Amino acid sequence: MSDSSPLPASDIVEAANHRENAAAVLLKELDERQDAVLEELDQLNDSIENLIESWRSKKQDPFEIDAQETEAANEIAL
């Protein structure tokens, strides 16, 4: 049989501290990545909103176009 003696308390505490430090580093990296992704999403959202606004300003209501053409025709006739 193998002799498996329990680890000294100091080794157990050291291992726990090591895991805690590694977890803290990973959590910090995750938080930084999350901030970067949220910033990219905000930029993408702004781009989409600008595109929609641009599209809406170019798209005119057919009745509005008819009214503009009628006004232009009336101005020419005067």
For the chain, give the longest Cα–Cα distance: 112
Residue 41 to residue 43: CA distance in whole angstroms: 5
- The whole-number average pLDDT for the span 37-57 is 95
- Domain holding 19, by residue range, is 10-77
pLDDT at 54 over 50: yes
Domains contained in the chain, number = 1
With respect to residue 3, please indicate whether it lies within any of the assigned structural domains. Answer: no
**Whether the predicted pLDDT of 72 surpasses 80:** no
Is 1 a member of any domain?
A: no
Q: What share of the chain is helix, strand, coil (3-state, %, to 5)?
A: 85, 0, 15
The arithmetic mean of pLDDT across residues 9-24, rounded, is 90
The pLDDT of 32-45, averaged and rounded, is 98
Lowest mean pLDDT among 48-52, 58-62, 63-67: 63-67
Please tell me the pTM assigned to this model: 0.53
When comparing pLDDT for 76 and 55, which is higher? 55
